[in-house]
């Protein structure tokens, strides 16, 4: 990271100490710097926004160090997995993993009982465990638009619509038959 980028991250950490909302979006990060965890070690964050960066991996310590976070914004990165430690974030209600490289919903998502809103739009998701989704006690909104969902998964998701607001891209059976 260049000097100007380091200063930007430090300034945003200082701001997070005041408003409890860490915003590291658009910082050209390829990883979350260890300094962030040190600078915010005594801060109870409410939200963490790491969107629009170049991050490929979320460190497991994020869930441990920032366990009080209720909103996580990881959208517009290069993620294809999430750490299992996210299940320890007992107050997590919103998770945005849209515009990444997921091919299936990460298994940890199904184990976050407090999760109400999941945005997984614009990935490469084909597989979703609909049965596990049904048993998520707090889930109220799921966005899977612009994903190449299998036709049977799409149909099963539409069956959840009375309990959960499900957003999916309409399927064209003729196009699916070409695959």
What pLDDT score does 163 carry?
A: 86
Whether residue 146 contacts residue 125, with contact meaning beta carbons closer than 8 Å, is answered with no
Could you tell me the CATH number of the domain that includes residue 135? 3.80.10.10
Q: What is the pairing mode between strands 141-143 and 117-119?
A: parallel
Q: How far apart are CA 3 and CA 174, in angstroms?
A: 53
What is the domain count for the chain? 1
133: its two tokens: 């989704």
Whether residue 9 contacts residue 33, with contact meaning beta carbons closer than 8 Å, is answered with yes
Domain range for 84:
3-178
Q: How far apart are CA 60 and CA 47, in angstroms?
A: 17
Per-residue confidence in pLDDT tens, the chain, 179 aa: 667 878 999 999 999 999 999 999 999 999 999 999 999 999 999 999 999 999 999 999 999 999 999 999 999 999 999 999 999 999 999 999 999 999 999 999 999 999 999 999 999 999 999 999 999 999 999 999 999 999 999 999 999 878 899 999 987 665 554 44
Which spans in 89-178 are helix H? 130-134, 151-158, 173-178
What pLDDT score does 175 carry?
A: 53
What pLDDT score does 47 carry?
A: 98
CA distance to 1, 15, 36, 166, per residue, from 170 (Å): 42, 42, 41, 12
């Amino acid at each position: 990271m260049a000097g100007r980028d380091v200063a930007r991250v430090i300034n945003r950490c200082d701001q997070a100490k005041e408003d409890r909302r860490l915003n590291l979006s658009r910082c050209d990060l390829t990883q979350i710097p260890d300094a962030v965890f040190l600078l915010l070690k005594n801060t109870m964050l409410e939200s963490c926004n790491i969107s629009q960066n170049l991050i490929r991996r979320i460190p497991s310590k994020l869930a441990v160090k920032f366990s009080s976070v209720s909103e996580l914004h990881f959208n517009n990165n290069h993620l294809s997995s999430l750490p299992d430690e996210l299940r320890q974030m007992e107050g997590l209600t919103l998770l945005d993993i849209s515009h990444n490289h997921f091919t299936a919903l990460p298994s940890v998502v199904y184990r976050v009982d407090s999760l109400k809103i999941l945005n997984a739009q614009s990935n490469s998701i084909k597989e979703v465990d609909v049965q596990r989704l049904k048993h998520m006690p707090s889930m109220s909104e799921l966005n899977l638009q612009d994903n190449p969902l299998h036709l049977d998964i799409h149909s099963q998701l539409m069956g959840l619509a009375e309990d959960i607001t499900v957003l999916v891209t309409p399927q064209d059976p003729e196009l699916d038959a070409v695959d």
